[in-house]
């Protein structure tokens, strides 16, 4: 069976999107991945690459008058969240598919996701819990469920849930940066709608906020609490201009870094090489400011630089300093 997926990225997340695509090629038998490209640079490059089963959709193609107004009152990041249900609706309406599954671009598959569709069964919608570890429970702010593997059938319930999600996402506002209406409204789906499957497989949505609550081991693939990891969500991953890798500000064991982040860096490298083969001048990626360095604080003598520096030093003291040189991987 050919599964239909969609994701969202701009030029700064293009490597992540290509790495996600490559992981689907490795671990699934058949799929189409629709990529909503949030800028012309990403769109034109994905079109030029002509990768099999990776279909570029330009953000301008989904814009409506209402959506344009929402874009005007949201940040760039918020507008990407606004577009999550919109791209799902667009695909169901325009590509004659029976179901679409939304994926976050910064996820990577470690095994076949078919086990998750089997668990979903005949239901119309799927949800994956955050599964927060006790120390990092942020459910009051971010909700119980994470937008990362959300399947919607092209039926009455699937379309109704998508419309409800879209209406909530349209509440994003740049003047309320700490409110996540498009995320927290997922909590209401199981009680508000029929046929919503909550995925219990712990291998779905392994992430920085739950990895410390699991027992890790390796069989033919990584496992958490004895269940094969289907995909890992690489929240906060990025680079510095120096080339160093920022793995995020959660505490990680060396085992976690070796099992998940080492292969992810390698997947990003492979994506970079593939992109360069089509455009040797492409020079975009998710990049963090380097003002955390004390030298930069002295040279810039700015409040922003000082805040960055002390933030990184605090992470180091708390065991959450996860900046590694490229040579480490």
Q: What is the mean pLDDT of residues 114-131?
A: 98
Strand partners, 214: none
Measured in whole angstroms, how far is the alpha carbon of residue 238 from the centre of its chain?
12
Q: What is the mean pLDDT of residues 191-195?
A: 97
Alpha-carbon distance values, 286 to 17, 33, 73, 244 (Å): 12, 21, 23, 12
Residue 197: phi and psi, rounded to 5, are -95, 125
Q: What is the mean pLDDT of residues 166-177?
A: 96
CA–CA distance, 17 with 33 (Å, rounded to integer): 10
At 247-302, the pLDDT tens digits run: 998 999 999 999 999 999 999 999 999 999 999 999 999 998 877 665 665 666 66
At 78-115, the pLDDT tens digits run: 999 999 999 999 999 999 999 999 999 999 999 999 99
CA–CA distance, 29 with 13 (Å, rounded to integer): 25
CA–CA distance, 276 with 204 (Å, rounded to integer): 31
Cβ within 8 Å of residue 212, ≥6 positions away:
133, 135, 136, 250, 251, 253
pLDDT of 293: 64
pTM to 2 decimal places: 0.94
CA–CA distance, 20 with 35 (Å, rounded to integer): 11
pLDDT of 307: 74
Among 165, 161, 143, 144, which Cα is nearest to 152's? 161
At 126-139, the pLDDT tens digits run: 999 999 999 999 99
pLDDT of 14: 98
pLDDT of 301: 61
Beta-strand pair 196-198/125-129: parallel
Mean pLDDT for the chain? 94
Longest dimension (CA), the chain: 60
Cβ within 8 Å of residue 140, ≥6 positions away:
none
- Which residue has 């995020």 as its token pair? 248
pLDDT of 311: 74
Confidence of residue 313 (pLDDT cuts 50, 70, 90): confident
Q: Please, what are the domains in the chain?
A: 3-235 (3.90.550.10)
Helix (H) or strand (E) holding 288: strand 287-288
Alpha-carbon distance values, 34 to 57, 95, 243, 284, 299 (Å): 7, 10, 30, 21, 45
């Amino acid at each position: 069976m050919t599964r239909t997926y969609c994701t969202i990225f701009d030029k700064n997340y293009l490597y992540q999107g290509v790495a996600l695509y490559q992981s689907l090629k490795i671990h699934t038998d058949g799929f189409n991945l629709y990529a909503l490209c949030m800028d012309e640079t990403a769109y034109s490059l994905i079109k030029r690459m002509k990768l099999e089963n990776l279909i570029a959709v330009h953000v301008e193609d989904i814009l409506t008058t209402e959506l344009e107004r929402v874009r005007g009152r949201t940040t760039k990041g918020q507008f990407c969240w606004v577009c999550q249900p919109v791209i799902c609706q667009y695909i169901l309406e325009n590509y004659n598919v029976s179901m679409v599954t939304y994926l976050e671009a910064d996820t990577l598959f470690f095994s076949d996701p078919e086990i998750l569709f089997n668990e979903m069964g005949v239901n119309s919608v799927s949800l994956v819990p955050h599964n927060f570890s006790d120390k990092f429970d942020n459910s009051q702010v971010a909700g119980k469920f994470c937008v990362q593997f959300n399947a919607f059938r092209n039926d009455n319930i699937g379309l109704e849930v998508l419309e409800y999600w879209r209406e909530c996402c349209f509440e994003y506002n740049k003047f309320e940066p700490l409110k996540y209406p498009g995320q927290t409204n997922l909590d209401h789906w199981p009680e508000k709608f029929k046929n919503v499957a909550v995925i219990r497989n712990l291998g779905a949505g392994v992430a920085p906020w739950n990895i410390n609550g699991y027992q890790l081991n390796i069989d033919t693939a990584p496992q958490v609490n004895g269940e094969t990891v289907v995909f890992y969500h690489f929240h906060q991953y990025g680079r510095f201009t120096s080339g160093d890798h920022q793995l995020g500000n959660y505490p990680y064991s060396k085992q976690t870094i070796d099992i998940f982040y080492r292969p992810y860096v390698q997947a990003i490298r492979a994506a970079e090489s593939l992109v360069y083969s089509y455009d040797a001048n492409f020079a975009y990626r998710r990049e963090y400011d380097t003002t955390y360095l004390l030298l930069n604080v002295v040279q810039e003598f700015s409040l922003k630089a000082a805040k960055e520096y002390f933030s990184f030093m605090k992470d180091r003291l708390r065991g959450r300093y996860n900046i590694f040189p490229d040579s480490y991987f």
